[in-house]
Structure 1
Amino acid sequence: MSSTVNTGHTDLRAFWRDLPREGKWLLSTTAIQLLGRGLTLPFTIIYLHEIKGVSLDLAGTLMAWIAVIGVVATGPGGWATDRFGARVVSVFGSACNMAGLFVLAFAHTVPFFFLAMSLIGISGITWPAFNSLIAAIVSGPARQTYFGISFALVNLGIGVGGLISGAFIDVHRPSTFTTIYVLDALAMLIPIGLLLGPLRHVRTQVEPTQQAAGARTSYLSIVRTPAMKWLLLLTFLGSFVGYGQIEAGFSAYSREIGEVSTRVIGWAFAVNTVVIVVAQMLVLRRIAGHRRTRVLLVMAVVWACAWTLLGSSGLLPASAYAVFAVIAFHFVFGFGETLLQPTIPAITNDLAPDHLRGRFNAISSGAFQAGAVAGPVAAGFLLRHHWNLQYIVVLLVGCAAMAWSALALERRISLQVNGIVPPIKDPGVVGDGAVHSV
């Protein structure tokens, strides 16, 4: 396994200096990798409906199918990560994503669209695998810094990609859509090249310690540990209240209730990207040395303020205030994201024994994907029935539940896992003890 860094520095130059070569390769290419994703992310529904003639209902089903396949794939993906290594699983997932995007670029029939979405869904196993890879390279408090900086770079790549494709594509020229999906597919050559080249020596699979060797290592035994139960609930709620609403509930509420233009919604997403890119390093400096669960508590309050702002846009629809409220929502929401993204992955990987890291990240990914599926469904049901106030109330209750879950999690994890002091190399424990036999 490559060398690791165990530093609490949040100064960017110090962090970069202490980062192992493999970590520098990964981090320096993150924005470029996600540039391709940014080219296509805002326009898939438009591509399917207006270019390929797929009905909106079916297009929505195809988009949801990606998340469904992603949930199903996380279990085998986590096991494979622990058994064969994160590098092998990441190469396989990236290749599936490339194949799916190529199929989507040239498909004309529904079966081929489902094939494309299935392949893209399978590629979701790269998320837990990459988190395991990062945890093998970077240890201690520096993990929190790495996850935060990586998240900012992801948003930078997606944001720039969206700006480029927005200026390039034209619904009257279908070939422009084909081009961006081909470019997104070719962008997968970057992670594949890294994993087969500079990162080929990174090893994530390890033998369990003598104490852990006799314990059950099933997913059920991991989920049953007290700390993991609360962490998964927190992850699910974060996805349900947050990311599961952004492409569905936020846009629908802004258009139907706030009555703002699509251009305003575009500005709001741009503000979100700018906030994350600009604020992430500042946030990392401020949260260093603080309990991660308290950071998540603050994040829940911040998101509650964001949803209250969006809800208020319905008080004066189609007004200057509605425009302000919609844009301000993404400003505040983006700040909350900078608190969430460095903390939950760091807690997950500090909880996980090295030999189970793939499964821990897979379970976390599954909880996130489940929230991403449930969020749009709940939003569609509530807003379709014109339960606008109830929609905002549900999200505020979700934020309160996140705060409660964070405090419950705090009582079940060690100070080391909570980011107070540097963790020992491999505690092999989950919350109050080892992965329990069942």
Structure 2
Amino acid sequence: MLEQAEVDLGRRAFRLTLAGTLVSALGQGLTLPYLFVYLHDVLGAPLPVAGVVLAVASVVGLGATTLGGPLGDRAGLGRLAWIGLLVQAAGTAVLAAAPGAGVASAGVALNFIGNALVWPALNGLVAVQIPAEGRSRAYALRFGMLNAGIGVGGLLSGWIVSVREPASFHLVYGVDAATTAVFAVLILAGLRGSPGYRSAPRRAVAERGGYAVVLRDRAFVGYLAVALAFGVFGYAQLNGPWASFVTGAGGSTTQVVGFAFAANTAAIVVLQLGVERWTRPWRRSRMLVATAVIWGIAWVISAVAALPVLHGPVAAVAFVVSLAVFGLGETFYSPIGGGMPNALAPEHLRARYNALAASTWPLGGFIGPPLAGVLLGGSMPLSWVAVIAVGMAVTAVVAAVLGARLPSAVERPAV
């Protein structure tokens, strides 16, 4: 009876976490496309300076992720999420009120620190709120909810934000800060006493350990390699280089880029739960292979769209389709991106496992864009697509090999 009561408490906490995710995602969607524009066009930071601000903030965020692992294991994942949301809200509020680029830089750093604490903490919370057989759907549902909120926020921002009206930027960043603070209040008020909010009772010293123990887990290190490859050849190329390719070598417009990202979000929201239900019995390594193959196909479609013979409306449609296909790949990855680290993690090291998994995102962001810059800036921009498509093919092979190293209970999840 007590066990069932704890399960019910965890499910209620998860529903509250979903509600907070949707509210905060609406605010993030208002501001997500505009940070670089805000720093440069509104606050007057030269483009190189704006780039340095984001790079430094990424480094600081990576450090925060590393520190957040031990903090989450000691204090509890719910507490870590609450602290991270408060820091993130404070950083966004500083951005909203910033009179210039100097103050805004501090806000960006705080925002990145908070986000670096929140993301792995929320991933870990799902694993303690939901029984094993329901986690795949839970991760997929949270990812779909996140994208739905960001998509709606992005549509609203198109009606609100204008470079000619700096106050519009202060408004959307203020709303973003407020929605993040609301999520923090929901965590503090609604999750106290729920599974994962506080750390488990202290275990024997022999059962505890730091990152050295985590990195001795060969299956997890193999997963980190695949996740980093997804960052380098996937997400890091999506966030910036792809748009540059479309408007440069692809000869298309920023409007096409906007439609393509809308198609990406729509594909995730519409397909996520159906894909999760269909693939629930699949091996986890097969899900990783499918993600890599689908993303490779998306990049090939972009390459075909950029061919001179297709310039015009047909090319524009192909570019939009390519990001919709990328979104389909994301629906395969989302249950695994959150589920794999938690399936491998022992309870007392759960936050550290999630922190290392989350660190592949900024690391991919460091490696991927400079690689893209060299290829896109050369005499053969199409070589960029060739490299990242081949990178996805190699990632698929590595993911297949990883399947042989995963424990059977992890490779074949409970359904």
TM-score by length of 1: 0.89
Structure 1 position 336 matched with structure 2 position 323: no
Higher helix share: 2
Question: Identity, % of aligned pairs?
Answer: 32
Q: Distance in 2 between matches of 1:344 and 1:139?
A: 17
Distance 1:4 1:399 in 2: 44
Indicate the residue corresponding to 2:58 in structure 1.
67
Q: CA RMSD in A?
A: 2.1
Quick check: 2:65–2:355 contact (8 Å CA) kept in 1?
yes
Q: Give, in whole Å, the separation in 1 of the partners of 2:326 and 2:133.
A: 25
Equivalent position to 1:218, from 206, 210, 214: 210
- Structure-2 change in CA distance of 1:158 and 1:344 (3 Å): same
292-301 vs 173-182, greater mean Cα deviation: 292-301
CA distance in 1, matches of 2:267, 2:107: 33
The alpha-carbon distance between structure 1 residues 154 and 4, as it changes in their structure 2 partners (threshold 3 A), is: farther
Note the 1:67-216 alignment, pairs <5 A. 67-123=58-114, 124-204=116-196, 205-207=199-201, 213-214=205-206
Query: Any gaps of 5 or more consecutive residues in structure 2?
Result: none
The yes-or-no answer on 1:376 pairing with 2:369 is yes
Shift of 1:263: 0.7
- C-alpha contact (below 8 Å) 2:229/2:364 kept by paired residues: yes
Which residue number in structure 2 is paired with residue 427 of structure 1?
none
Q: Is the alpha carbon distance of 1:389 and 1:170 closer, same or farther for their aligned partners in structure 2, counting shifts above 3 Å?
A: closer
- Measure the CA separation in 2 of the matches of 1:5 and 1:419: 26
Q: Does 1:352 find its partner at 2:345?
A: yes
1:52 aligns with 2:43: yes
User: Deviation string for 1:258-277 (max 9, x for gaps)?
Assistant: 11111111000111111100
Q: Distance in 1 between matches of 2:223 and 2:323?
A: 25
Using the TM superposition, give the Cα deviation of residue 125 of structure 1 relative to its aligned residue in structure 2, in angstroms.
1.0
Moved more, 249-258 or 405-414: 405-414
Structure 1 residue ranges without an equivalent (≥5) = 7-16, 423-438
Amino acid at match of 1:81: G
Q: Is the Cα–Cα contact under 8 Å of residues 250 and 306 in structure 2 kept in the other structure?
A: yes
Any idea what the Cα deviations from partners look like across 1:17-47, whole Å, max 9, x if unmatched?
9972111111233222200000000111111
Change over 3 Å in CA distance of 1:44–1:405 after alignment to 2: same
Matched residues in 1 for 2:231 and 2:150: separation?
19
Q: Is the 8 A contact 1:5 1:139 kept in 2?
A: no
**CA offsets, 1:239-287, max 9 Å, x none?**
1122111121110000101111111110001111111000001101110
Aligned equivalent of 2:354: 361
Tell me what 1:264 maps to.
256
Contact 2:9–2:195, Cα closer than 8 Å, also in 1: no
1:87–1:195 Cα contact (<8 Å) kept: yes
| 1:200-247 C-alpha deviation (Å, 9 max, x unpaired) | 11243224766xx42562212212321011110111111112211112
Aligned length: 410
**Offset at residue 156 of structure 1 (A):** 0.5
Give deviations 1:148-201, integer Å, cap 9, x for gaps. Answer: 111111111001001101111121111011000000000112221111111111
In structure 2, the CA distance between the partners of 1:154 and 1:421, relative to structure 1 (3 Å rule), is closer
What CA distance in whole angstroms lies between the structure 2 residues aligned with 1:4 and 1:326?
Answer: 50
Q: Give the whole-Å Cα distance in 2 for the aligned partners of 1:57 and 1:2.
A: 56
Contact 1:68 1:121 in 2 (8 A): no
Following superposition, which runs of at least 4 residues in structure 1 exceed 4 angstroms of deviation? 1-6, 207-210
User: Partners of 1:323 and 1:306 in 2: how far apart?
Assistant: 14
Counterpart in 2 of 1:309? 301
Structure-2 change in CA distance of 1:265 and 1:5 (3 Å): farther
